[in-house]
Chain A
Amino acid sequence: MIGQILRKDWKLLWPMVALVTAIQVAFEWIGYFQDSPGAAVLLGPLTLAWHIGIAVMAAAVVLQDPVPGADQDWLIRPLRRSEVIVAKLAFVALTVSLPMLALNMAHAMAMSFPFALSLRAILFKELYVFACFIVPVMALAAAARNMTEVFLIAASLVVVYASSLTLSAYLMDAGWCPTCETGVSWLQHLLQHLEVLLGACVILVLQYHRRRTEAARAVAGLGAAALVFLQLPWNTAFAVQGWLTGSSGDAAAIAIELGPQTPAAGGADGAGGDKDHGARHAATLLLQGHPDQALEYWRRRGRPADRPAAVEVPVRVSGIPSGELLLLDRLEVGLYADDDGRPLYRRRNADVSPMSLAAQPGDTADSSGPIPIAFQVPGGVYRELRSRTTRLRMDYSLTLVKEVARYEMGAREGLLRAPEVGVCFSQLDQDSISVRCSKVGRSQFCYSATLYGPDGRHNPEILKCAPDYRPYLPPLINALNFFGLDLPVRDPYGLSRYAVDPTALAASHILVKIYGERDHFKRTVAVPHFRVGAAT
């Protein structure tokens, strides 16, 4: 009977199938030319249309034979309900997943990616989309009588989810999300996807086995509420990530200690020696083409009296093996009473960028100077603790990344094909060279590029590290991942001078380095007799 139900649904839904397929074709076609300005404009609306189209179709096929109610004709026909849901799932697999797989494969083949690698990544992506997007939408539709009810239920779930967020902020902390915006956030996403999938399966079983619509809707509501509260503690998530990555042993020699001019030890303002370092840090940011970050750095140092205080503690990192970088995943800062160890203030410092502890590319171990670690203390806490002696504890969660591949490509209209990067193109824009890569499967999260002139001189290496340690959780719509960076070749403000002559780019080349994670580990720095007032 599955084939019979499939044929019936096809007769009813083929115009919608044609429309969704047209959206998919358009998306792939325009995605192929995504570097053109017109494509960039169209891709946003098409992505939205793709999501809506697939969701509506997944719901529509279920609603051809709605489960709730007692008047539907199919309920008194000799059909097994398990056959009905299997037919519905097969319908979406055949009319959404299969065309999407074919189109993604065509795109990958057009870009000359290896067939087997592409097929594996795209198949995985289709399974992921099916399990984490299509099945939940179908479960939602199975608890509704018609499309209006689907929208109403979906809107109700959004309200439940938002209420849970508000409640969690009230009960715990406004920023309560231990792994959000970190490299291990994928574990949280995976957990949430699994919860959604489990909830969807429960709803489908409830509906197609027992026809318990009220119970199914309750499960959906509870699931939406639980999504917020189902959080992995940071230590657990980081430990799981460490277990997944394994250990190279390279991290054993890495130590973090207070810099030579610690405010607590010096007892002075703590700013004198750091000013030079601060200037150097800002200049480095400027040379690397990040004027906004440089500006923010200086702005943070000049604090109006009523604003939170930026406390700065210089630390020195040693033992980083040559050619490896240290990424800071998370820094948790705590101030404790010096006498009884009572916590006075504790926060996860969201302002620390992953670059903060990185030895600069090309540096050898221990060659880098003290790195100022800044964290903010609320004005009230600062006033209370300004002149009090406390104990500072800084818990670092760190990742050591190592260069895994390096390639050269032409600086102008350069083309690079390699397993680690997929396909990369370089193109000269107004003041910089943009390097854009697309890759089937897992994207690279840490890479650098350096512009070398014909005479061997080079501009500063531009490093881009946005920790994301996921094995491979694809975007929903496309198995291709896109990444890249810009290499400044001239400063429009005339503040910076670059070693490579911008007129000699035709003979210049770019060195691309790819970094992969080696170790995830923790270090703690404790500073006794610390005075907050001395470190601002």
Chain B
Amino acid sequence: MSKAYGRFGALHRLSMAVPEGSVFALMGASGAGKTTAIKILLNLITATGGTATVCGVESRTIGPRALAQIGYVSENQVLPVRLRVHDFFEYLRPCYARWDRDLEAELRDQLRLPPERRIGELSHGMRLKMALACALPFRPKLLVLDEPLSGLDALARDEIIDGFLRQAGRTTILISSHELDEVERFATHVAFLHEGRLLFQGSVAALAEHARPLLLAAERRGDRPSLRAIFVALVRAARQSAAPPAGQSP
């Protein structure tokens, strides 16, 4: 799929597949097109070209039935700020036929969400935890996390990661992040985006194999190169291939 805002191309013929049951990390620097791709998948914005299929449904026609199987957490998610935490849970419960109240209670307890506080009074981290606690009790088939770790302290990150990793295996998790070191801990599959273009997608093991020739000698040391090193190598290679041959002006 492609997406352009006027003359600016945010996504260039992105083509990828997220395997069922995987923890799929969509990675790239800020502005690489990760959020745009996710919003197209959830029909929050419309692609300029191409199509996407989510849980067997074409994303442009995604409706309540498909959305009932998708959990979504985003750093930009606009929640009803004047509603109290427990009121919001109360509001959401009837939306989902498979809502598990025990799991809800467990998550609220684990993430220490204050029931009487208004959502607008919660800190950024607490709001993300709240969004996560609302995205899990109905046991979604697909959990989409858009920069869920952005701007969080280490403790909050661990709580969030622990929270959604409880679903790993039963739920397909698509997580977008530019926090390469954190994602490395749990991702089974990765895709690298750079300036709207897909540099690589595949399993973490395949990634290491794919990137090995691109890595500098210093970066190859150790059993397994880091995602950070691979990403830098991929971007470097992409820039080189895009640059004009020596002697020609760009």
Query: Out of A1, A4, A76, which one reaches B42, CB within 8 Å?
Result: A76
Contact B74–A71 (Cβ < 8 Å)? yes
Question: Which chain A residues (1-48) contact chain B, with CB distance < 8 Å?
Answer: 1, 4, 7-8, 11-12
Query: Out of A71, A75, A78, which one reaches B68, CB within 8 Å?
Result: A78
Contact B96–A78 (Cβ < 8 Å)? yes
Q: A4-B94, A78-B68 are in contact. Are A70 and B87 (CB under 8 A)?
A: no
Contact B77–A80 (Cβ < 8 Å)? no
Query: Out of B39, B65, B78, B92, which one reaches A77, CB within 8 Å?
Result: B92
Contact count A vs B, C-beta below 8 Å: 53
Question: Which chain A residues (161-210) contact chain B, with CB distance < 8 Å?
Answer: none
- Cβ-based interface call for A64 (8 A): yes
Could you mark each residue 93-108 of chain B with 1 if its beta carbon is under 8 Å from any beta carbon of chain A, else 0? 0111000000000000
- Cβ-based interface call for A504 (8 A): no
- Cβ-based interface call for B67 (8 A): yes
Question: Which chain B residues (38-68) contact chain A, with CB distance < 8 Å?
Answer: 39, 42, 44-45, 63-65, 67-68
Chain A residues closer than 8 Å to B76, beta-carbon distance: 71
A65 vs B94: C-alpha distance when bound (angstroms): 17
- Cβ-based interface call for A69 (8 A): yes
A220 vs B192: C-alpha distance when bound (angstroms): 42
- Cβ-based interface call for A86 (8 A): no
Query: Out of B64, B72, B78, B94, which one reaches A80, CB within 8 Å?
Result: B64
Query: Out of B39, B83, B94, which one reaches A70, CB within 8 Å?
Result: B39
Contact B45–A70 (Cβ < 8 Å)? yes
Query: Out of A1, A4, A12, A75, which one reaches B80, CB within 8 Å?
Result: A12
Contact A73–B78 (Cβ < 8 Å)? yes
Contact B78–A76 (Cβ < 8 Å)? no
Chain A residues closer than 8 Å to B131, beta-carbon distance: 73
Residue tally, chain A, CB below 8 Å to B: 19
Q: A12-B83, A73-B80, A76-B44 are in contact. Are A7 and B91 (CB under 8 A)?
A: yes
For residue B94, give the distance in angstroms from its CB to the closest CB of chain A: 5
- Cβ-based interface call for A111 (8 A): no
Contact A76–B67 (Cβ < 8 Å)? yes
Query: Out of B44, B68, B70, B95, which one reaches A4, CB within 8 Å?
Result: B95
- Cβ-based interface call for A368 (8 A): no
- Cβ-based interface call for A79 (8 A): yes
Contact B64–A70 (Cβ < 8 Å)? no
Q: A8-B80, A64-B80, A70-B39 are in contact. Are A77 and B45 (CB under 8 A)?
A: no
Chain A residues closer than 8 Å to B45, beta-carbon distance: 70
- Cβ-based interface call for A72 (8 A): yes
Most chain A CB neighbours (cut-off 10 Å) among B70, B82, B91: B91
A59 vs B100: C-alpha distance when bound (angstroms): 35
For residue B220, give the distance in angstroms from its CB to the closest CB of chain A: 41
Residue tally, chain B, CB below 8 Å to A: 26
Contact A4–B91 (Cβ < 8 Å)? yes
Chain B residues closer than 8 Å to A72, beta-carbon distance: 78
Chain A residues closer than 8 Å to B95, beta-carbon distance: 1, 4, 77-79
For residue A413, give the distance in angstroms from its CB to the closest CB of chain B: 54
- Cβ-based interface call for B79 (8 A): yes
Residue in chain A with minimal CB distance to B62: A76
Chain A residues closer than 8 Å to B67, beta-carbon distance: 76-78
Query: Out of A65, A69, A76, A79, which one reaches B72, CB within 8 Å?
Result: A76
A75 vs B41: C-alpha distance when bound (angstroms): 13
Q: A11-B83, A11-B87 are in contact. Are A76 and B94 (CB under 8 A)?
A: no
Q: A73-B80, A76-B72, A78-B68 are in contact. Are A8 and B44 (CB under 8 A)?
A: no
Chain B residues closer than 8 Å to A11, beta-carbon distance: 83, 87
A11 vs B87: C-alpha distance when bound (angstroms): 9
Q: A76-B44, A80-B64 are in contact. Are A8 and B78 (CB under 8 A)?
A: no
Residue in chain A with minimal CB distance to B43: A75
For residue A534, give the distance in angstroms from its CB to the closest CB of chain B: 70
A299 vs B41: C-alpha distance when bound (angstroms): 76
A77 vs B99: C-alpha distance when bound (angstroms): 13
A114 vs B45: C-alpha distance when bound (angstroms): 55
Chain B residues closer than 8 Å to A69, beta-carbon distance: 78
A251 vs B44: C-alpha distance when bound (angstroms): 65
Residues on A lying within 8 angstroms of B by beta carbon are 1, 4, 7-8, 11-12, 64-65, 69-73, 75-80
4 smallest beta-carbon distances between A and B, as pairs:
A78-B64, A70-B44, A78-B68, A78-B67
Further contacts, 18 of them, CB under 8 A, given A8-B80, A64-B80, A77-B67: A1-B95, A8-B87, A12-B80, A69-B78, A70-B39, A70-B45, A71-B76, A71-B77, A71-B78, A73-B77, A75-B44, A76-B44, A77-B92, A78-B63, A78-B68, A78-B95, A79-B64, A80-B64
- Show 17 A/B contacts (Cβ-Cβ < 8 Å), sorted by A: A4-B94, A8-B91, A11-B87, A70-B39, A71-B76, A71-B78, A73-B79, A73-B80, A73-B131, A76-B44, A76-B70, A77-B92, A78-B65, A78-B67, A78-B68, A78-B95, A78-B96
